Amino acid sequence: MATVINSKIDATTLDMVTTVHPEYRRWISIWRFLRDSYVGGLDYQEGCYLTRYQFESEEEYRSRILQTPIDNHCKSVIHTFNSFIFQNPVKREYGTLGNLPTLEPFLEDADLEGRSLDAVMRDINIQSSIYGHCWIIIDKPATEVGTRAEELQQGIRPYISVFTPENVLDWQYSRLPNGYYELTYLKVLEADDLRYRSEKSTLVTREYFPDRTEIRVYAGTDRKGETVESYPNVIGRVPATICYASRSGVKGIGVSDIADVATMQRAIYDELSEIEQLIRLSNHPSLVSTIDVQAAAGAGARIIMPDNLDGNLKPYLLQPGGQNIDGIMASIQKKIEAIDRMANMGNARGNRAITMSGVAMDTEFRQLNVRLSEKADNLEYTEENMWRFWAAWQGLVWDGEINYPDTFNMRDKIQDLNIAKMSKELDPDNPWVQRAIRDTIGEVLTDDGHVQEMIEYWQPPLPGPQINEITDRQYPDGEPIPDTLPAAYQPSQSAENCANCEYYKENAAQEGAGYCTRWNGSPVRAVYWCAKWEPKESD
Binding site for ligand SF4 (CB under 6 A): 489, 498, 501, 503-504, 516, 518-519, 524, 529-530, 532-533
- Cα(421)–Cα(88) distance, rounded to whole angstroms? 29
Which residue, among 510, 500, 447, 503, has the nearest Cα to 475 in the 3D structure? 510
84 burial level (CB within 10 Å; 0-12, 13-18, 19+): buried
Minimum separation from the CB atom of position 434 to ligand SF4 (A): 23
CA distances from 436 to 155, 226, 457 (A): 56, 72, 14
Choice between 299 and 531, CB closer to ligand SF4: 531
CA distances from 332 to 78, 164, 355 (A): 20, 31, 18
Residue 164: in which H helix or E strand, if any?
Answer: none
Minimum separation from the CB atom of position 511 to ligand SF4 (A): 16
The overall longest dimension of the chain from CA atoms, in Å, is 120
Minimum separation from the CB atom of position 532 to ligand SF4 (A): 4
Contact status, residue 242 vs residue 253, Cβ threshold 8 Å: no
Choice between 49 and 519, CB closer to ligand SF4: 519
The Cβ-side half-sphere exposure at 77, using a 13 Å CA radius, reads 33
Minimum separation from the CB atom of position 531 to ligand SF4 (A): 7
Minimum separation from the CB atom of position 485 to ligand SF4 (A): 6
Contact status, residue 82 vs residue 125, Cβ threshold 8 Å: yes
Amino acid at residue number 259 = A
Choice between 153 and 517, CB closer to ligand SF4: 517
- When computed from its CA atoms, the radius of gyration of the chain, rounded to whole angstroms, is 33
Choice between 41 and 465, CB closer to ligand SF4: 465
Minimum separation from the CB atom of position 439 to ligand SF4 (A): 22
- Cα(287)–Cα(373) distance, rounded to whole angstroms? 60
Minimum separation from the CB atom of position 179 to ligand SF4 (A): 45
